[in-house]
Structure 1
């Protein structure tokens, strides 16, 4: 195992960030190469815990000659975000300097333009340099996993339609309960990787990418950082790598994925019509019917008409809900995966900012 650091100079004097990178060299020519990162949103730590245990397993495999394909692991992909707190609370999702989501605005390039990501890189801001380094490393692999988590949620993933159903092995390995099929219309990290693969050269757009995978994995909620969970997830991810031929293993074949599969258009984003305290009537993992009471917003406490009921627009599975118990007007409350498309208008791209 090789451990190195990418040093990112700050945009003001006297500041720099260090990005640790762990690399394993494969022993089998032609074996798939993997790139795995966690905590791009710096306050989402289940993936960091998972990779801590996965690295232990990879070191053991390396000692036994079991690393077949090159593997690159970045367990804390955002040292800039990890240093940004506001009134003692780690922010993590948005850069305080630009107000930009750390998982947006990745360069959308053709794969042949990969060298340009790090050419004259010092002319870019620190955050853009971080994004360019991460994307450049990922584009050297065939399997790219970006580990995130939700506020409160099930184990699920965002998978570009191009990679489904081949990616069902990952869903099964990590015991996911849902998969959202994305439309590839954003500048998030995993979609920037897929964009480069689809546009391997200028003017080209591939619609099939066999053997490749770029995916955002949502490892439950921000508070689900426990040793037992992290170890179980690390074992699942190792089984996925074994199944794809990246590491050697004598484990049994993976089970068939039996969770919910929903295109993004079939995901109901439940939002608050007014500000107020949130009273949830259903938890993540529950199936609801059209018309079921999902939440009550206490918009005007003590008033006879002060409570607002929010009901399910259709049948579905509650995949996520927010951890806060105060809503601003139109803030997100839940995601519900449904069998039919939502009647609410949705722009192409990600579900949330």
Structure 2
């Protein structure tokens, strides 16, 4: 295992932070390149604990010489957000100076610019060669970018570390949630065995959710490259990227973290990144559904929230999900689901304002368009 430290731009006098990455195996090895990061939203600690557990597993496997490819792990992907506490409240989702979401609007170079950078060097029959050229061009273009502040330098460092990877896994969690995964239709066949091993109770598919999140800009870039290059220029690079939501913010325990780390290791064994014999994957808990089919439940009024459906419950259209109680008027407002699907995440607080987002239920039929994810 190699440890690398990446200094971030110092935004103010007397402050400095660094991003730490752990490298296992060899980039020149026979296996795929894998990039895994955790807690880009810094307050999503279940992902960080899973990554720490995974780091110990990978260190042991690397010492045994079993890592055939290269695995890069960043267990603390947001040292900036980790420092943001206001009156005892941990604020890890948005950067305090700018208000930007740490996992939105990642500035990836365009497919057109990458193709122009490669120029006439493309091969008409060697897909691996073409992928290597494009990844090299991507690294070059990111290296030519100058970060103006700490926030931008964090994004640039993360993008650069992931830019050569065949597989990009971004580990997160929600507020209160069941294990679920966001990925693209192109990535889904390759991610499906991981969903089985993790026990994902929901898989949400979208090629472009409109948020330019970390995993999606990688998958979307290769999707656009394929579309622009066409059949005349083969491109064999796998289009594999996903956000894994490690349940809810309070689901922090050693047993759960060990389960998730073991699932990722077994997935990498099955792909040949790690030498060994993979266990048989269990059945898929729930079929994948379009992200555009998920129903966003909102609070029609203000009041005390009493959830009537448990996180992870399979609901039928018309089932009650939560009540809102007005302690002044005695009114009780019941909100039901319009979808048959899994209640995969919900709000953590129990008093809400009118219009507040309350949770989501998966759906088999796409009913939304435009930007499909919130802030």
TM-score (norm 2): 0.87
Equivalent-residue separation in structure 1 for 2:92 and 2:60 (angstroms): 32
Distance of aligned partners of 1:347 and 1:128 in 2 relative to their CA distance in 1, 3 Å threshold: farther
Distance of aligned partners of 1:203 and 1:260 in 2 relative to their CA distance in 1, 3 Å threshold: closer
Deviation (angstroms), 1:251: 3.0
Distance of aligned partners of 1:318 and 1:236 in 2 relative to their CA distance in 1, 3 Å threshold: same
Deviation (angstroms), 1:200: 4.1
Question: 1:129 is matched with which residue?
Answer: 153
- Does the CA contact (< 8 Å) of 1:271 and 1:330 recur in 2? yes
Alignment match of 1:140 (pick from 164, 185, 199): 164
C-alpha distance after superposition, 1:55-90 (max 9, x if no partner): 111111112110100110000000001111111111
Deviation (angstroms), 1:165: 2.5
Pair 1:303 & 2:329 matched: yes
Equivalent-residue separation in structure 2 for 1:61 and 1:264 (angstroms): 36
Deviation (angstroms), 1:347: 4.0
Higher strand share: 1
- Does the CA contact (< 8 Å) of 1:9 and 1:15 recur in 2? no
Pair 1:196 & 2:258 matched: no
Pair 1:274 & 2:301 matched: yes
C-alpha distance after superposition, 1:81-111 (max 9, x if no partner): 1111111111000111111110012013235
- Does the CA contact (< 8 Å) of 2:290 and 2:365 recur in 1? no
TM-score (norm 1): 0.92
Equivalent-residue separation in structure 2 for 1:193 and 1:77 (angstroms): 17
- Does the CA contact (< 8 Å) of 2:61 and 2:67 recur in 1? yes
Gaps of 5+ in 1: none
Distance of aligned partners of 1:28 and 1:249 in 2 relative to their CA distance in 1, 3 Å threshold: farther
Equivalent-residue separation in structure 2 for 1:67 and 1:212 (angstroms): 21
- Does the CA contact (< 8 Å) of 2:266 and 2:279 recur in 1? no
- Over the residues paired in the alignment, what is the CA RMSD in angstroms? 2.2
Equivalent-residue separation in structure 1 for 2:341 and 2:227 (angstroms): 41
Equivalent-residue separation in structure 2 for 1:177 and 1:297 (angstroms): 26
Gaps of 5+ in 2: 112-133
- Does the CA contact (< 8 Å) of 1:291 and 1:312 recur in 2? yes
Aligned length: 347
Alignment match of 2:143 (pick from 102, 118, 125): 118
Question: 1:262 is matched with which residue?
Answer: 289
C-alpha distance after superposition, 1:155-212 (max 9, x if no partner): 1100111112232111012121110002323311011111332344995479986634
Distance of aligned partners of 1:209 and 1:322 in 2 relative to their CA distance in 1, 3 Å threshold: farther
Distance of aligned partners of 1:140 and 1:87 in 2 relative to their CA distance in 1, 3 Å threshold: same
DSSP-derived class of the 2:20 partner: strand
Equivalent-residue separation in structure 2 for 1:309 and 1:194 (angstroms): 39
C-alpha distance after superposition, 1:266-298 (max 9, x if no partner): 101101112221111111121222222211112
Match runs of 1:65-104 below 5 Å: 65-104=65-104
Deviation (angstroms), 1:231: 0.6
